[in-house]
Every structure is written in C-alpha cells, then in structure tokens.
Structure 1
Amino acid sequence: MLPAEILTSLFPAGHQVTEEGGLLAGTGRLDGQTTVDVVGITGKTYPGVDEALTLAGRILDIAARPAPAPLLFLVDSGSQRMSRRDELMGLSETLAHLAKALWQAERAGHRTIGLLYGGSAAGAFIATALACGELVALPGAWPEVMDLPSMARVTKLSVDVLKEKAATTPVFAPGLDNLFATGAIAEIWDPAQPLSDQLKAVLARPATGDERARWGLDRGGRQKAAAIAREVEQLALAHG
C-alpha cells in the first residue's frame, strides 16, 4: 500500500499528514472522538542526524502535551545514513535520542505504535519501529536488523553458514515472517480490511509492557529469551 492509501484507510474521518524531506508529520482522526498524532519516515529515506533530531523534537513536543493522544509512527526507510558528516556529528547518539523520545512519549501516557509498511534496517529500524511500544506491519514489509553479509563480518561466520542457520532459526534471518516469529512484530495487519478497525483493536487492548520475549517463545522464534530475561530480573532483584 502507498502512504496515501494507508492514511485514508487509517483515518476515515480525515487527516492532516504532510511529507517533507522524507519525513511525515501531522494528525489523523480515527473517529469523531479519537485524534492520533502521526510521525514517520517514508520513501526509503535513510535517516541521519538531521532527520533523527527532527523526529525526536516532534515526538517530545507530543509527549509534553497534557492530553495523551496515541502516536503512530509510519516506517518505510533504509538503514541509518552512515555518511562521514553524520558519523562525525554523533549519528549513534542522535538515534539513541530518538529512541528515548519514543520511550518518553510512552512514559507520558501516549501509546506509541509503529506501523512498518515498507523497508527498514539496522540502527534506523531499532531507533524507530522497534523503539515503539508496539510494532505492527503490513504484508510486503521488509525489516532486517542486520543483513547476512554484515552479520558475517561481525560473527566471523561465512555467509553460507549464516544462510544455513537462517533457514531454521528466525533470529539469524531478515524479513517479515522471521521478525514476527521472534516476537519483534506484534501483528501483521490485513490490508483488505479497514486499517482503522485494526488500529482501534490495538488501542482497545491495555498496554501490558514488553511482551516480545513471550511472543517469541509462543511462536517458536526465540526459545530462550523469556526465561533468560526472567532469571536476570530475579537475580538483579535478589542482589538489589
């Protein structure tokens, strides 16, 4: 789906979302009573320092409002822009600032929901879609935390070995189905049905904290994460 189609399906009561420089901003009316703040990255834009700071500023403005309207983050990006200028200006720090801005919005009572409708990769994916309180996706989206050639350089395993592991272990594999299996993505929405109804269903559920490790266990994509996280938490509390 194209952004215009997504916004029309999300907000049958109308929206005022605009695009500039590959970034989305505005509001949409889910119904007569519910307004949703919208930010996003579109058009396979590679976010750098400038984009990260712009998005973080908008999100912090939303977080400061007294009315806790939900915040929807639309995502179709490349990876982070790893230019010399961006790296020298502190790209990693500004991406971390963006992720913390989303956390601050959630902490201030604004449900933060990422909607991945295109691609996203590496630090850009982590600081935007994965930093939201809950992430949903549309069929055809293509997320990857790290592609296999990059993973090979980090792990010192060959690409062939990683391809073999990726065939049976979702943690090693990019793509929508694999990220869903690990629990990173809560739901894959049906584009044939009104997206507004699917967003309403998400907002109607109480926020219960980070469920990704449990989803990964239930779906068979991450067998150990939930148990290890629980044990680490118990040990920390015991020695607190």
Structure 2
Amino acid sequence: MDWQTLATKLFPEGHTVTEHEHFLSGTGSVEGQTVTVIGTTDHAPIGIEIALIQAQAVLATVREHPGRPILILVDTQGQRLRHRDEMLGINSYMAHLGKCIDLARRRGHRIVGLVYDQALSGGFITSGLMADACFALPDATIRVMGLSAMARITKVPEERLAELAKVDPVFAPGAPNYLRMGGLQAIWEDDVGARLAAAIRDADPVDRRRALGFERGGRKLAAPVAQAVGTGAHVLPA
C-alpha cells in the first residue's frame, strides 16, 4: 500500500502528511487528537541525513507539543551502505534517533510504529522497534538479514538455514514470524484507522516483547533468561 492511501485510511478525520526525499512528516487527527507523523517511503536507505531529520522531528514534537502521540511509518531497506556514511558515523546518527524516540517516551509521548511496506535491519531497529508498540500490515516484508547473506556471515549452509526457518521464527522473514517473536504487537488486517486509535489509547511504555515472544512460542528463552539474571536463578542445565 502506498503511503498516500495509507495516510487517508489511518486518518479519516484528515492529515497533513507530505513526502520530501523519502522522508514523511506531518500530522493527523485521531479521535479529535493531533498525532505527529514521521517516517520513510520508497524503501528508503537510512543515511545520516534522514536519520537526523527524523530525530529533529521527534525533538520538535517534544519541545513544541508536550505529550502529543507520535506515529512512525516504516518503509526502509536499512542503513545506507556507503563509505561516506560509515566514515561520518552512521551508527551514531541512528543511535541518536533511537535516543530521541526514547526521550519522547520518557516525556510522556505515546509512540506507535507501523511497518506498511518493508523493514530491514538497522533502519527498523532504530525506528519502529523503538516505539511503545510496533504493528505491521499483512503484506509487510520484515527481516534483519536475508538467508543468503546470513549464510555468508555465519558460514552455515543456506539450505540448513532454510530448514531452520521453517520451524524457528528467528531465522525466518515476514510479519507473522516477528509477531511470534513479540517484535510486533499485532498485524492490522482490517480498519487501520480504528486500529491506530486503539493503539494510541493502549500504548504502554513498558517493554513487553520478551513476554509476548514467550507466550507465542517464538522466543522461548529470552524472558526466562532475563528473569534468571535478575534473580540469580538457573534456567539452563549446567
């Protein structure tokens, strides 16, 4: 779904969202409440410029509109793979974006992420996954790394990784697998406007992804291990 159609469906009461060089910004009205909208489109690669402008938009909302909800629309191919961006410290720019989103949360802004097209690697981690809750449309493509690239990095044969992907969502791309792992709160298959209104109302700053992953059978050890670290208990055999 293109971002224009999506924005119209998300904000039937009206919106001012526009696009400039793959960056989405503006506001929308949800149940009479104004929501700041930031995001990306056209599978945008996240370079230092777009990371910084997203961070600036978040900080402007914190400064000028205390408590206003923030919606992050995600469509990215991940961080931009250029020598220039690496030399200028793209990791620091993306970390800055994540910190700004966390600052907004700490200041009382409810933050919702929505993957409406593609979400890959670091571009997703420092945007949608930084929200109080992240959602996706049914046809969204989500993955940290393709299996062929994973095979090159891990030296595990791609055929073996393909077998593992059939039974373990950690190895498999797609919104349903991220739902099982707790990375997504839900997949929006119906009225996205009503879904957004409910997501804003229910936004919770407490990170519950480990618990959701455990309940859904997608991450069976993250929650027990974290609890064991906190209590000093043992969860794995010696």
Asked if these proteins are the same fold (TM beyond 0.5), I'd say yes
1:174 maps onto 2:173 in alignment: yes
What is the CA distance between 1:159 and its match in structure 2?
1.1
1:219 to 204, 207, 216: 216
1:102 and 2:73 equivalent? no
Give the whole-Å Cα distance in 2 for the aligned partners of 1:206 and 1:101.
18
Aligned to 1:148: 147
Aligned residue identity for 1:137: A
Residue 160 (1) aligns with residue 175 (2): no
Cα root mean square deviation, aligned: 1.5
Contact 1:148 1:162 (8 Å CA) reproduced: yes
- Please say if residues 112 and 203 of structure 2, whose CA atoms lie closer than 8 Å, have aligned partners that are also in contact: no
**Amino acid aligned to 1:203:** I
Q: Is the 8 A contact 1:46 1:81 kept in 2?
A: yes
**Which residue of 1 is the match for residue 114 of structure 2?**
115
Amino acid at match of 2:89: G
Aligned ranges for residues 117-136 of structure 1 at < 5 Å? Answer: 117-136=116-135
2: distance between equivalents of 1:216 and 1:229? 13
Cα distance change on mapping 1:65 and 1:228 into 2, 3 Å: farther
CA–CA distance in structure 1, aligned partners of residues 203 and 2 of structure 2 = 30
Q: Deviations over 1:14-49 (max 9, x none)?
A: 1111100000011001133x1100000111111101
The Cα shift of 1:66 comes to 5.1
Cα pair 1:117 1:137 within 8 Å, conserved: yes
Please list the CA deviations of residues 189-214 of structure 1 after superposition, one character each: whole Å capped at 9, or x if unmatched: 12x42x22111211222515111111
Q: Distance in 1 between matches of 2:72 and 2:65?
A: 20
Between the aligned partners of 2:176 and 2:87, the Cα distance in structure 1 is 35
Aligned to 2:235: none
Fraction of identical pairs, as percent: 39
Q: 1:66 to 1:74 in 2, by over 3 A?
A: closer
Q: Give the structure 2 partner of residue 238 of structure 1.
A: none
Write out per-residue CA displacement over residues 158-191 of structure 1, whole angstroms, 9 at most, x where no aligned residue: 111111111100011111111111010001012x
Q: Distance in 1 between matches of 2:60 and 2:207?
A: 24
Distance 2:205 2:86 in 1: 36
Specify the SS of the correspondent of 1:233. helix
What SS does the aligned partner of 1:25 have?
Answer: strand
Question: Which amino acid is the alignment partner of residue 86 of structure 1?
Answer: D
Q: Could you say what secondary structure the match of 2:43 adopts?
A: strand
- The alignment of Structure 1 onto Structure 2 pairs a total of residues equal to 233
Alpha-carbon distance in 2 for matches of 1:67, 1:104:
12
Per the normalisation by structure 1, the TM-score is: 0.92
Q: Would you say the 8 A contact 1:11–1:31 is kept in 2?
A: no
Gaps of 5+ in 1: 236-240
Q: Please give the alpha-carbon distance, in whole angstroms, between the structure 2 residues aligned to 1:114 and 1:160.
A: 33
TM-score by structure 2 length?
0.93
Residue 86 in 1 paired to residue 100 in 2? no
> Unaligned stretches of 5+ in structure 2?
233-238
The one-letter code of the counterpart of 1:9 is K
**Does residue 16 of structure 1 match 2:43?**
no
1:45-67 CA distance string (max 9 Å, x none): 11101111111111111122353
1:197 corresponds in structure 2 to: 194
- Relative to 1, partners in 2 of residues 1:118 and 1:183: Cα closer, same or farther, differing over 3 Å? same
**Matches of 2:74 and 2:22 in 1, distance apart?**
11
- Contact kept in structure 1, 2:111 and 2:200, CA below 8 Å: no
**Code of the aligned partner of 1:226:** A
SS in 2 for 1:9: helix
